[in-house]
Amino acid sequence: MKGYRFYAEYDSAKAKRKGEPPPDNVVAVFLDDSRQPMGFWSRGTYLYECESALLCHANSAVCSSSVAVEYLRDQCKRISETEARTIHPQLFVVLDHYAGINGN
């Protein structure tokens, strides 16, 4: 799927380091036409635009949001679209809908 970079979202930095428990949700960072994350500065922190879990339970409903680069680095792991679809199917209900609207 073009236009996104996917990250598995762990409960903590420690859980990410140990690779367990398995992540329950995925963050989908929006990419611009040059395949760079779309972002902005806010209060000294750089944030990426994204679709992410609305709640803290497996396969949560999703919402548009922003995510700190530090959070992605500390608590998330970049994954493939295939892995993301397995972990967080509800995210792809939204992303596939967007793709249909935009003709992608």
Domain tally, the chain: 1
47 forms beta bridges with 40, 68
pLDDT of residue 41: 96
Q: Which residues of the chain have pLDDT under 50?
A: none
pLDDT of residue 16: 87
pLDDT of residue 103: 65
Cα–Cα dist 12/32, whole Å = 29
Tell the burial category of 26 from Cβ atoms under 10 Å away from its Cβ (0-12, 13-18, 19+).
Answer: buried
User: Closest Cα to residue 94, out of 56, 36, 50?
Assistant: 50
> Can you give the residue range of the structural domain that contains 30?
4-102
Q: Structure pTM?
A: 0.89
